Amino acid sequence: MIIKVLGPGCRNCQIVYENVLKAVEELERTDITVEYVKEPSEISKYVMVTPGLVIDEVVEHEGKPLPSVDVIKEMIINEEYDFSDGESSGGCGCGGCGC
């Protein structure tokens, strides 16, 4: 899994970057690569407002409010499941909530 934090390096972007690193650490995931993308031409390929957060080429967040560590952990966990076949990994069986 590749997570990209998009932003020019401002304080809010740095907070999101730090939150991503903490979320990955708390989940004890060694298979995740975290990139901090600061190049405007690369950022504009994904979002119009920073900070942005992209997981495996899917935009998960743009702008404010800034996602917390817990919200980012949920994004990572939910991104692991492919619900395109309508199957859930457990929980309620709805096929989309990731419970």
Which position has the token pair 């970057």? 17
- The answer to whether the beta carbons of residues 29 and 76 sit under 8 Å apart is yes
Q: Is 99 a catalytic residue?
A: no
Report d(CA 91, CA 97) in Å as an integer: 9
Q: Is 13 a catalytic residue?
A: yes
* Model pLDDT for residues 24-82, shown as the tens digit of each residue: 999 999 999 999 999 999 999 999 999 999 999 999 999 999 999 999 999 999 876 55
How far from 42 is each of 20, 39, 52, 57, CA to CA, in Å?
Answer: 19, 5, 11, 12
Tell me what pLDDT residue 82 has: 52
Tell me what pLDDT residue 78 has: 86
Tell me what pLDDT residue 66 has: 95
* Model pLDDT for residues 3-33, shown as the tens digit of each residue: 999 999 999 999 999 999 999 999 999 999 9
Report d(CA 49, CA 87) in Å as an integer: 33
The active-site residue, picked from 10, 92, 94, 97, is 10
With the C-alpha atoms ordered 84, 88, 94, 99, is the resulting torsion angle positive or negative?
A: negative
What is the value of pTM for the model shown? 0.78
Domains delineated in the chain: 2-85 (3.40.30.10)
